[in-house]
């Protein structure tokens, strides 16, 4: 446990710190993401919106030789990641990230006008040709049918199909575990960039 986390009672309490849209990714969803994509030895892996490093921890355990870079804008969470020894990019806002990478695993924030759609589109643009993406997002963003074809999620869903990205709904209790629980319906999406 990091000194920063220890001073606040351990990382299990990070969800209680009032950090907006902070819902650490449960291990079961991380493994579900990893089942959907292939990671090869020379891949540069990026995790935007890295939080306290749940995804990074599992990536580091399974792919210790791969270059793993994290982006996190919250200063407290950045401090936790740095103290835990992760390579945290100097880019604090993922929308300023421009370096092409091979693999992105992400659990972006869902709130504020379906911002997960914006994060996922930016991640897709950041992938090299042949790059792989696996992401958690709100079910309403990626899977729920909408009557208004101009509604942001409906437009995003058409974009997902145009890019060949796959979507499946996660179990309704997928985030009802861990230190900051929610029953928000979520989806897993994944694909390889042509």
pTM above 0.85, yes or no: yes
> Which residues pair with residue 70 across a beta bridge?
47, 88
CA–CA–CA angle 78, 80, 47 (5° rounding): 55
Q: Is the distance from CB of 141 to CB of 187 less than 8 angstroms?
A: yes
Domain ranges of the chain: 3-15+23-192
CATH number of 3-15+23-192: 3.40.50.150
For the segment 99-149, what is each residue's pLDDT rounded down to a tens digit?
A: 999 999 999 998 778 999 999 999 999 999 999 999 999 999 999 999 999
Task: Give pLDDT < 50 ranges for the chain.
Answer: 1-16
For the segment 141-156, what is each residue's pLDDT rounded down to a tens digit?
A: 999 999 999 999 999 9
Question: Rounded distance, CA 34 to CA 157, Å?
Answer: 22
């Amino acid at each position: 446990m990091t000194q920063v986390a220890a001073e606040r009672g351990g990382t299990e309490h990070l969800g209680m710190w009032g950090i907006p849209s902070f819902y650490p990714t449960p291990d079961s969803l991380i493994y579900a993401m990893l089942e959907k994509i292939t990671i090869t030895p020379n891949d540069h892996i990026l995790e935007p919106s890295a939080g306290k490093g749940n995804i990074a921890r599992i990536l580091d355990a399974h792919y210790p030789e791969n270059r793993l870079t994290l982006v996190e804008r919250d200063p407290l969470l950045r401090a936790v990641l740095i103290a835990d020894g992760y390579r945290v990019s100097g880019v604090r806002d993922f929308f300023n990230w421009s370096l092409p990478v091979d693999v992105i695993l992400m659990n972006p924030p869902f709130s504020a006008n379906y911002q997960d759609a914006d994060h996922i589109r930016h991640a897709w643009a950041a992938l090299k040709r042949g790059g792989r993406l696996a992401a958690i997002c709100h079910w309403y963003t990626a899977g729920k049918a909408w009557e208004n074809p101009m509604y942001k999620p409906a437009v995003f869903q058409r974009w997902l199909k145009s890019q060949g990205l796959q979507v499946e709904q996660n179990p309704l209790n997928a985030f009802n575990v861990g230190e900051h629980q929610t029953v928000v319906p979520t989806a897993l999406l994944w694909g390889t960039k042509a």
